[in-house]
Amino acid sequence: QVQLVESGGGLVQAGGSLRLSCAASGSIVSINDMAWYRQAPGKQRELVATITYGGSTNYAGSVKGRFTISRDNGKNTVALQMSSLKPEDTAVYYCNADLLGGSSRMFARYWGQGTQVTVSS
């Protein structure tokens, strides 16, 4: 079945950088948009960045200019390059993809397991 696997989370000092990666695997037919979300303790899940199949991107205002989302359609991967990190960026980051795969005949949203990003001050 379809699986999204994330990597790259960890502990970083404020002002530092991290690169998150997410690889989709399984019986994937096609992937449309991909995205990164995050959820801090006690807060709702927040959309961080999106990228279409063609490479058009959108960012939350809080990360614009600091984060960059990218994808490799050949490898079915999406990455989030995070720079100038702030303590308020601390959250569990989730990979998301709108894809056609598995036993489904329709596109559906799939989620990664989440990876912890902690930014110390």
pLDDT tens digits along 18-44: 999 999 999 999 999 999 999 999 999
**110: β partners:** 97
Report the C-alpha gap between 5 and 22 in whole angstroms. 5
Token pair listed for 85: 């990190």
The DSSP output letter for 1 is -
pLDDT tens digits along 66-119: 999 999 999 999 999 999 999 999 999 999 999 999 999 999 999 999 999 999
Q: Is the pLDDT of residue 57 over 90?
A: yes
What are the b/e assignments for 77-114, b being 16+ CB within 10 Å? bbbbebeebeeebbbbbbbbbbbbbeeeeebeebebeb
